Amino acid sequence: MSEQGTKKSGGLSRRDFLKLMGAAGTGLAFAPFVPFGNFMPNPSQATLEKVKVILPDGTQANVKTFPINHSEVITYPSTGDPALDAEAFRKWQFIRLPQELGGDKQNVSSFRAYSMVCLHLWCLWKYWPEEGRKRGECPCHGSMYDPTTGTAFAGPASLQAAPSNTLAQLNFESDADGFLWVLPPTWGVNDNGVIGYGRFAS
Ligand code: FES
């Protein structure tokens, strides 16, 4: 199974499958017969090295400069292939928490990254920093996510049983200069979670 990323599977390559997912958008809940486990990111396909948190402008995120109460979209794992890197399952909301939730700390505790794939029907949610919001919101059916935990607290995703009420997440470390790195994840519900499926909140 470790070669799944390059092998054909039932006539459908992983790359084709990912392109299909991008095209299908929110409609994939209709396809329970698809062997998602063969295609979703997993340890055999992910680098075991930590990688830089690269922001959309190409720079590496740094605790000294990334604004408080702010988010950007990051891609993980990045392949360098624009078609693959555009896939929803590689997109994460990289959030620096608002000050009142601890975002002013000059270390990794200020940061979160959650899969953007909503746990309800796989629309893409985002973080809204406005006063009175400061939460993740999904535009499709109104699920809302707590930025400190990644757990849904309103809308249909909040009604789903654990682990499908809490988003997959990435973990970080910062170096001596404040630059942020993604630590190698473990894709399991008791670890970093499973994208589009969820995570048991610890
Ligand atoms: S897909 Fe996000 S609330 Fe339905």
Atom of ligand 1 nearest to the CA of 121: 1
Alpha carbon distance 156, 94 (integer Å): 23
Alpha carbon distance 103, 88 (integer Å): 26
Instruction: Indicate if the pLDDT at residue 33 is higher than 60.
Output: no
* Best residue for ligand 1 mutational test, from 135, 137, 141, 164 (most atoms within 8 Å of Cβ): 141
pLDDT at 86: 95
| Identity of residue 177 | D
* Best residue for ligand 1 mutational test, from 114, 137, 138 (most atoms within 8 Å of Cβ): 138
Structural domains of the chain ordered from first start = 47-182 (2.102.10.10)
CB 114 within 8 A of CB 167: yes
Instruction: Indicate if the pLDDT at residue 169 is higher than 90.
Output: yes
Q: Is the CB of 155 under 6 A from ligand 1?
A: yes
Residues 177-190, mean pLDDT to the nearest whole number: 97
Q: Is the CB of 138 under 6 A from ligand 1?
A: yes
Instruction: Indicate if the pLDDT at residue 198 is higher than 80.
Output: yes
pLDDT at 49: 85
Å from CA of 20 to ligand 1 middle: 20
CA-closest residue to ligand 1 atom 3: 141
- Which pairing describes strands 180-182 and 51-52: parallel, antiparallel, or unpaired? antiparallel
Q: Is the CB of 123 under 6 A from ligand 1?
A: yes
DSSP annotation string for the chain? -TTTTTSEETTEEHHHHHHHHHHHGGGGGG-TTS-HHHHS--TTTS-SS-EE-B-TTSPBPBTTTSPSSEEEEEESS--S-HHHHT-GGGEEEEEEPPGGGTTTSSSGGGEEEEESB-TTT-PBPEEE-STTT-EEE-TTT--EE-TTT-BEEESHHHHSPTTTTB--B--EEE-TT-BEEEPPP--STTTT-BTTTB----
* Best residue for ligand 1 mutational test, from 114, 116, 143, 158 (most atoms within 8 Å of Cβ): 143
HSE-up (13 A, CA, CB side) for residue 21 = 28
Q: 88-112 pLDDT, tens per residue?
A: 999 999 999 999 999 999 999 999 9
Using CB atoms within 10 Å of the CB of residue 8, give its burial: 0 to 12 exposed, 13 to 18 middle, 19+ buried.
exposed
